[in-house]
Chain A
């Protein structure tokens, strides 16, 4: 059976290759960053096993590793400028519109594998791990698409790994932000941040009222996203504070609806805030606008109208 751990090992191996390539070019901070990160993928299931058996030092070492990642990200300039000159140093033979096929193969193969997985069996065991079906399918689809892309462009594995590492270094440490924010969400939940916010909210709004709770949740998502510039960061806090205890557990909201539309309500906040610099400030610079808030101004009416729609949708769909 193909388990999700195998996919994680694949990620770890790729990060290790990226670390090795950076080490060979003597980019030590970058090499160290990807090396530490790869250990979370190569040794992750061992850490979880050890924790399950009551052994704590592997998880603590990983915690130290996370702190090291933060320090490394703050010290070295990990992000490299993407230069099109470098990318096209040796101009490859034109491939034409066939290039689109491998790119589309990733999402399409993922979807296809998710749909046919229940029928893929070896005797009595399913071939794909059913509890993490989407992740396993995505990992497999990437392998399939890579083989397809290499055939289309007549390249080999070391060329694709070099190109993949170039992209990884271009994205830089920002790539890790969603994973770290999710970790912070778990820490907030475990240290009672959610409970504290829920207590404050409970003191301010009438928690017996479903509409008041929903309004506090929606506006809280927008407000937190505006402050932090990222709906991912706002989600665990508002969910642990209001969404889960008040809306799901007390008022019986459907978790899938509340999660999906709640996150998109946060996205309305992303349209409004200069904190989301890569979406709102960078393009204003790129497009040579004299008003650095020009893009935000163009987004305000859409964001507010959509916020109202999301509020109504949640009120309607989550409490059917």
Chain B
């Protein structure tokens, strides 16, 4: 057994740890691994070229860019934000859980970049979460607010990751299909995508339970805080109002 090709894995690890350009790291890793396996330069180049061409399907998503670009130019994001902002009168848990469900559903239909940390979490979900927690009468200090914002970002990640694999034409599904195809096992993408459903449901349940749990601990600690202070009611109006004009 020749263990030298493992040097290629070491190159990937080192390259990513040292934050080199990921494309160059991956190309280098392929070259190192091939040379360490004792391949000739001609064979190695042919292998890289052929593998690259046979993985073309992974870049098919660029065909969606003219459509999405055109729609964004005409205000698609702003429309989506207005629409989501239309749901008011919400608790923190209800807000985050509906966002989680919506994000998963949209990702399942391949609308992965309709939402995201820059597009929806920072301008929309994070301030709405803080406002919902405040309206609900939960304690608010800097640390709690940061935990709420972090949970909002985490909710976006969980919703995206465990929805996108159900989409037929998503890269992960095609990567799995392509891997088996080259090993002589033919699978339809739909057969792979459907098996991502159980995990998608489990992810929704687990994260939703955690959100509810988070809200309960917030409420408990704020109730303790209130009794200690002698029952001052919370002041929900101000921070909530300031969010309403934000698209």
Q: How far is the CA of A152 from the CA of B170 in the complex (A)?
A: 26
B137 on interface, CB distance cutoff 8 Å: no
Q: Which residues of B contact A134 (CB under 8 A)?
A: 168-169, 188-190
Number of A residues, CB within 8 Å of B: 144
A116 on interface, CB distance cutoff 8 Å: no
A108 to chain B, nearest CB (A): 8
Taking a contact as CB atoms under 8 Å apart, the answer to whether B70 and A164 are in contact is: yes
Of the candidates A69, A164, A257, A280, the one whose C-beta lies within 8 Å of that of B65 is A164
Taking a contact as CB atoms under 8 Å apart, the answer to whether A228 and B199 are in contact is: no
Number of B residues, CB within 8 Å of A: 119
Q: Which residues of B contact A299 (CB under 8 A)?
A: 154, 157-158
Q: Which residues of A contact B59 (CB under 8 A)?
A: 11, 37, 41, 175-176, 178-179
Q: Which residues of B contact A288 (CB under 8 A)?
A: 149
Which positions 169-185 of chain A face chain B at CB distance < 8 Å? 173-185
Q: How far is the CA of A7 from the CA of B172 in the complex (A)?
A: 19
A14 on interface, CB distance cutoff 8 Å: yes
B60 on interface, CB distance cutoff 8 Å: yes
Q: How far is the CA of A219 from the CA of B83 in the complex (A)?
A: 41
Q: Which residues of B contact A14 (CB under 8 A)?
A: 62-63, 65-66
Which positions 227-254 of chain A face chain B at CB distance < 8 Å? 227-229, 231-233, 235-237, 239, 244, 248
Of the candidates A135, A187, A287, the one whose C-beta lies within 8 Å of that of B150 is A287
Which positions 152-170 of chain A face chain B at CB distance < 8 Å? 153, 155, 159-161, 163-168
Taking a contact as CB atoms under 8 Å apart, the answer to whether B178 and A92 are in contact is: no
B104 on interface, CB distance cutoff 8 Å: no
List 11 additional A-B contacts (Cβ < 8 Å) besides A188-B9, A261-B195, A279-B157: A51-B50, A87-B72, A103-B114, A146-B70, A179-B55, A180-B26, A186-B51, A191-B5, A280-B157, A295-B153, A299-B158
Interface residues of B (CB under 8 A from A): 1-3, 5-6, 8-9, 12-13, 16-17, 20-24, 26-31, 33-34, 36-37, 39, 42, 44-60, 62-76, 79-80, 83, 109-111, 114, 117-118, 121-122, 126, 146-147, 149-154, 156-158, 161-162, 165, 167-169, 171-180, 182-183, 185, 187-196, 198-199, 202-203, 206-207, 210
